[in-house]
Amino acid sequence: MSKKFVGFIAIFMVMLFVSGCSSKSENTSGGKEKITMWFWGAPPEHQETMKKVLVDKYNKSQDKYELTVEFRNSVDKDISVALSSGQGPDIVYGSGPSFVIPLAEAGKIENLDKYAEQYGWKDRIVEPIYQSGTVNGSLYSLGNSLNTIGIFYNKKVLKDNNWAEPKTIEDLVKIMDEAMEKGMYASVTGNKGWKPVNENYSSLFLTHFAGGAKVYEALTGDTQWTDPEIIAALDKSAEWYKKGYLAGKDYPNLTFNESTQLLADEKAPFFFGPSLVYQFASHSFSGDKAKDLGFMPFPTMNNETGEPQYTLGVTATFSINAKSKNKDEAAKILDSMMTNEFMNEMTKSWPGYWGVPLKDLQIDTSNMPELSKGYAEAIQSMVEGVNKGHFGYYTGVFLPPATQQIFLDIESIWNGQMTSKELMEKAQKEFDKEKEKGLVPPTPEPAK
C-alpha cells in the first residue's frame, strides 16, 4: 500500500508541475493574453529593475498582451522538464548555446530565421554571438549579454602601494608577489558552493596563455586538446594556484560576494573574474568606495597585435517555445531587449548582466552610477575588440556539455590528482563523441 501511495503522490506532483508550465495562451483578469518568461532567481532589487524596464514598459505599450516573468532558482532544470512535456513558458531562458542545441534538434524551440530577417538581427548583433546561437545554420537563440574574464582591481590599493596598472603578465606577477609579501592576497576569488566557477579559470588560461587561435583549432578538430600549448596553459594555471595567486588555500572557501568584500576591504589588489561580477560588487563597493573599483582586460602571452584579447561568452540565451501560441509577440519582446535603449536602462540599475551584444553599441554613461559606468565601458571596449576578432572562448559557451564538465575539473590538476595531459585526454574522448553527435556549438574564428 505504501508503495502505491508513494507512486500516486509522485504522479500527482508531476501533473501539478506540468499544469503550472502551460505554454498555451491564457487570458488575464483584464482580458489580455498572457506571455510567460522564466528567469533565474535574481536578487529582489534586480527583479524590480526587470519588472520596471521590461515587464511594465511592455505591458503599458499595448492592450492585448500581458508579459509575466517568473524568477526560479532551478530555471535550467524547470525549462528542460517543461519543454520535454510540450509545456513551458513562451520565452525560454537558457544557460548557453550548448544548452540550446538538443532543444533545437528535438523541435522544442522555434526556428528564429524569419524573425532574424524581420528585425535585422544578423546585421545588428555581434557576429560571433549571433553565430553561436545557430544550429545547422538556423538561428535558435539570442545571447542576452556579453561576458568576459578580466581583472577587477582596487584603485586605492594600487595607488597606496605605488603599483601601476599591469600591462603584461610580468607586471601582474610582480604585483602579486609583492602583495603576498605584504600579507595580502595576490588576488581573491573562490568557488565555494558553486563548482562551475572553475570554468572562469579554465577559460582564462586557455584564452590568455594558449591563445584563441589554438583553442579554435581544438574546437574545429584541427588539433587535439592534448596539444602542447594547451597543456602548457593548464600547467600554468596549476603553477599559479600553487603559488597562491588564486586566493591561495581560500579558493574553495570564498564566494564571489566574499571575494568582492575582501577586495573592497583592501585585502588584495586584484580579483580575476567575469565581468558579471559587477552585479555582486554593488554591496561591497557602495557609496564613496564605488570609485575605487576598476576593471581591465587580462594580459595575454605572446600577443602580437598588442591589443586586448577577450574571453568571449554570454550570461544566458533566450529562445521561443515551439509550442507558444504567441511566437510573433514573443519575438517582438526579444527584439526590444536587443537594443541600446534596453541596455542603457537595465545597466543603470543592474550592472554586470545586460551587456547587449550589439555591433554598434551606444552607451550613455552620463547619468549612470560608478559601477554601472565601469561595466558599460568594459563592455563597450569588449565589443570593439570582438568586432576585430580579438577573442578566445568561454568553455561554458563554446564547448559541448560533457566536454565542458571535464574542464570544470581543473582543480584536479591544481591539487595534483591528475596531470594536465591526463585531464585533456579525458576531454578529447568526450569531445570526439559529442562532435560525432553534432553537439559542438558553432565556433566563430578569431583573428590570427
The per-residue DSSP string of 137-190 comes to: TEE--EE--EE-EEEEEEHHHHHHTTPPPP-SHHHHHHHHHHHHHTTS-S----
Q: What is the mean pLDDT of residues 139-146?
A: 97
Say if CB 168 and CB 379 are below 8 A apart: no
Cα–Cα distance for residue pair 37/256, rounded to 1 Å: 27
User: CA 248, 254, 260 angle in degrees (round to 5)?
Assistant: 100
Residues contacting 333, CB < 8 A, separation 6+? 35, 37, 54, 58, 67, 91
Confidence check: pLDDT of 302 > 70: yes
pTM: 0.91
CATH class of the domain comprising 17-145+313-387: alpha beta
Confidence class for position 9, pLDDT limits 50, 70, 90: very low
Q: Which three cell numbers stand for residue 196?
A: 562551475
Q: What are 396-418's pLDDT values in tens digits?
A: 999 999 999 999 999 999 999 99
Residue 221's pLDDT is what?
96
β pairing state of 270-274 and 26-27: unpaired
Q: What is the mean pLDDT of residues 17-32?
A: 57
Cα–Cα distance for residue pair 327/320, rounded to 1 Å: 7
Listed range (211-225, 257-271, 298-312) with the worst mean pLDDT: 298-312
Confidence check: pLDDT of 66 > 80: yes
Q: What is the mean pLDDT of residues 171-199?
A: 97
Confidence class for position 153, pLDDT limits 50, 70, 90: very high
β pairing state of 149-154 and 293-297: antiparallel
Confidence check: pLDDT of 328 > 50: yes
Confidence class for position 395, pLDDT limits 50, 70, 90: very high
Confidence class for position 289, pLDDT limits 50, 70, 90: very high
SS3 (DSSP) at 423: helix
Residue 303's pLDDT is what?
86
Q: What are 125-136's pLDDT values in tens digits?
A: 999 999 999 999
Whole-number percent of the chain with pLDDT over 70: 93
Domain ranges of the chain: 17-145+313-387, 147-312+388-436
Q: Which three cell numbers stand for residue 18?
A: 506540468
For 19, the enclosing helix (H) or strand (E) is helix 2-19
- Helix, strand, coil percent content, the chain, rounded in steps of 5: 50, 15, 35
Ranges assigned E (strand) in 304-377: 310-314, 317-320
Q: What is the mean pLDDT of residues 21-27?
A: 52
Cα–Cα distance for residue pair 272/283, rounded to 1 Å: 18
Q: Which three cell numbers stand for residue 251?
A: 579558493
What is the overall mean pLDDT for the chain?
93
Confidence check: pLDDT of 340 > 80: yes
Confidence check: pLDDT of 13 > 50: no
Q: Which three cell numbers stand for residue 48?
A: 524590480
Cα–Cα distance for residue pair 278/283, rounded to 1 Å: 10
Confidence class for position 21, pLDDT limits 50, 70, 90: low
Confidence class for position 12, pLDDT limits 50, 70, 90: very low
Residue 31's pLDDT is what?
83
Residue 411's pLDDT is what?
96
Say if CB 376 and CB 347 are below 8 A apart: yes
Confidence class for position 28, pLDDT limits 50, 70, 90: low
Q: Which three cell numbers stand for residue 333?
A: 519582446
Residue 99's pLDDT is what?
86
Confidence check: pLDDT of 10 > 60: no
Q: What are 182-193's pLDDT values in tens digits?
A: 999 999 999 999
Residue 399's pLDDT is what?
95
Confidence class for position 305, pLDDT limits 50, 70, 90: confident
For 35, the enclosing helix (H) or strand (E) is strand 33-40
17-145+313-387 shares its CATH topology with 147-312+388-436: yes
SS3 (DSSP) at 96: coil
In CATH, the number for domain 147-312+388-436 is: 3.40.190.10
